[in-house]
Structure 1
Amino acid sequence: MSILPYLETFSAVIEHGSFTAAAQALGISKPVVSKQVSALEQHLGVQLLQRTTRRLHLTQAGEMFASYSKRIMTEAYEAEQSVLPLQSEPQGRLRISAPESMAISLLSDVLPMFQRKYPKLELDISITGRFVDLVEEGIDLAIRVGTLEDSSLIARKLMPCRFHLCASTAYLDVHGRPIHPGDLVKHNCLIYSQGQHPNNWLFLDSEGKEFHVKVSGNLFSDTGHLLMNAALNNLGVFMAPTYMVKQALAEGQLESILDEFTPSGVGLYAVYPHTKLVSKKVRAFVDFLADTLHQ
């Protein structure tokens, strides 16, 4: 028995959460879906799904098998798309993960241009500051600030970027300008809660060695622009990437402080899973973003 025809059905059940939804997505009947999943389980000699009246649950064997079947179906789709004539124009759904600050500061202007160029692509943008598991959550690519730590991912640098420690002139006039990161313990720090270590801010000494300063303050948020608004209203000090504060710095609304201690060797990256064939839609978006941001 070749299980390849059954993998698509099983993967559709996992993706859509029910036999009924999978049947609708595949254009077949619910009994056929149920029969194919049962046949797959019988062939493998293990139970993949626990069925209840309300929902389906993967067994331990099902979770293991699902990870492989998803990978196989993805590669089969990419292989098919790589040779189809309609691959000359990217299409389908493109799932993107991006931080809120990036979405507001850069993507809001870039996306309309991209959609006009590729009208057959359907964009699904997930706004979050956490480091999502791209493979586990079915995300095609993520946009991140920093450096690549996961060697299973491909990272393409879109533009140089750094972090700035910022506050308003009025706040600094009242509370003083810190001359060393250690002075931040005396300041009200506005903290981005989705950072890997929200309270521990990273700095570099004169020899380039890393050190952290534990900060505190009266405002935590997973929304960078809320923190920036608080800083603009003279409420404290916050750390943000260049693209987010560039205009406020240029207009004198904020001051960048302790620049000699803040890391500068970071960048804005497009990150996507390593596969033998990078899909046309991912390549089109990454290329467009790199060209647009470079300009």
Structure 2
Amino acid sequence: MAKTDDLILFAQVVEQGSFSKVAELNSLTNSVVSKRIARLEADLGVQLLYRTTRKLTVSEAGKVLYQGAKNVKQAAVEAIDAVYGYGESVTGHVKMSVPTISGDLLLADAVAEFCSMHPGLTVDMSLENLFVDLVEDGYDLVIRTGYLEDSSLIARHILDSQWVICAAPAYIASVGKPMTPEDLVTHNCLQYAYQTTGASEWEFKGDSGNYIVKVAGNFSTDNAAALRKAALGGYGLAYVPRCLVYQDFLKGDLIDVFPKRVGKKLGIYAVYPFTRQPPRKIRLLIEHIRERYLAMRECF
């Protein structure tokens, strides 16, 4: 069985590209680092690194192992820092950006609570859906949904946000309930303009994978709250994140038209600029936000 500390050491070797750098980071000798990597290779029965006098090359098996090893390393860092954080003051300023739906739903309260827990900390939180330029605009932390393309940023997955199609009982009573996704082409579909896949392309689960139904309607907006109000007013069907309308479902003000059939699900991520070690206040804030999301996971 591979030892956890050897996995962490292996992740460091891949990231640093050098035994000597890792030895220096951990106050070890080169020979100790080499022996521990050799022990890991022996335990797993595969060669992880090809070593020459000039460079280290990661094998295919090593690349696969690194994906898990770096998670072990990150989890260890976060666990230790979380404990340290209880005994240390968290001070300074954090500039962050969050999406409007999550900001209204839980992040404003969660971040304000974090500030009250750490009196020496101030936070400037913007609510916006556009993906800001973290480095150019000076953001320390961004909460975002969707795929992250910029490799110069670090993204920590928090949870996934399921989308739903909903309508008010008055709308269903007036024009009937669509029985299949294909029925939507005859309905008034209220469209959320803030979508990377297109406001009129609604995704569903099928027997052979997800597929798209093209819809149309007389109302479109880039504001989620406005879309929810239009749906509550009985003016059509809306395709939105479940967290936006979860309480409306519980009260019966909106109906989940296609439960478990909607295919769209987006990851929610905490994103910050790439550094070898992000500030403790950022790591603690991310963990606090993550706990608040997970406490409300049934909404998502």
Per the normalisation by structure 2, the TM-score is: 0.63
Q: Deviations over 1:230-257 (max 9, x none)?
A: 1111011112222221111111111112
Q: Deviations over 1:258-294 (max 9, x none)?
A: 2343126543322222221212221121011112232
Q: Is the 8 A contact 2:200 2:216 kept in 1?
A: no
Q: Is the 8 A contact 1:181 1:203 kept in 2?
A: no
**1:102-121 alignment runs, 5 A limit:** 102-121=102-121
**1:185-264 alignment runs, 5 A limit:** 185-207=185-207, 209-263=209-263
Cα distance in 2, alignment partners of residues 264 and 192 from structure 1: 14
Q: Does the residue aligned with 1:259 lie in a helix, a strand or coil?
A: coil
Q: Does the residue aligned with 2:220 lie in a helix, a strand or coil?
A: strand
- Alignment identity in percent? 34
**1:1-295 alignment runs, 5 A limit:** 88-207=88-207, 209-263=209-263, 265-295=265-295
Amino acid aligned to 1:242: R
Cα distance in 1, alignment partners of residues 119 and 220 from structure 2: 39
Q: Does the residue aligned with 1:135 lie in a helix, a strand or coil?
A: helix
Q: Is the 8 A contact 1:154 1:272 kept in 2?
A: yes
Q: Is the 8 A contact 1:189 1:218 kept in 2?
A: yes
Q: Is the 8 A contact 2:191 2:200 kept in 1?
A: no
Cα distance in 2, alignment partners of residues 181 and 274 from structure 1: 42
Change (3 A) 1:120 1:190: farther
Cα distance in 2, alignment partners of residues 195 and 252 from structure 1: 26
Q: Does the residue aligned with 1:277 lie in a helix, a strand or coil?
A: coil
Q: Is the 8 A contact 1:190 1:219 kept in 2?
A: yes
* Equivalent residue, structure 1, for 2:56: none
Change (3 A) 1:133 1:208: farther
Cα distance in 1, alignment partners of residues 182 and 206 from structure 2: 14
Q: How far did residue 186 of structure 1 move? A: 1.9
Cα distance in 2, alignment partners of residues 129 and 183 from structure 1: 30
Cα distance in 2, alignment partners of residues 293 and 282 from structure 1: 16
Change (3 A) 1:231 1:158: same
For these two proteins, the number of residue pairs brought into alignment is 211
Change (3 A) 1:188 1:264: closer
Change (3 A) 1:258 1:97: same
Q: Deviations over 1:144-180 (max 9, x none)?
A: 2344444443222323431111111111121222223
Cα distance in 2, alignment partners of residues 208 and 143 from structure 1: 33
Change (3 A) 1:238 1:282: same
Q: Report the more deviating stretch, 152-161 or 222-231.
A: 152-161
Gaps of 5+ in 1: 1-81
Q: Is the 8 A contact 1:93 1:122 kept in 2?
A: yes
Cα distance in 1, alignment partners of residues 266 and 208 from structure 2: 14
Change (3 A) 1:238 1:150: farther
Cα distance in 2, alignment partners of residues 187 and 264 from structure 1: 20
Q: Does the residue aligned with 2:108 lie in a helix, a strand or coil?
A: helix
Q: Is the 8 A contact 1:141 1:272 kept in 2?
A: yes
Gaps of 5+ in 2: 1-80, 82-86, 296-300
Cα distance in 2, alignment partners of residues 173 and 218 from structure 1: 19
Q: Is the 8 A contact 2:155 2:272 kept in 1?
A: yes
Cα distance in 2, alignment partners of residues 274 and 210 from structure 1: 34
Q: Does the residue aligned with 2:106 lie in a helix, a strand or coil?
A: helix
Aligned Cα root-mean-square deviation (Å):
2.5
Q: Is the 8 A contact 2:202 2:214 kept in 1?
A: no
Cα distance in 1, alignment partners of residues 180 and 133 from structure 2: 36
* Equivalent residue, structure 2, for 1:66: none
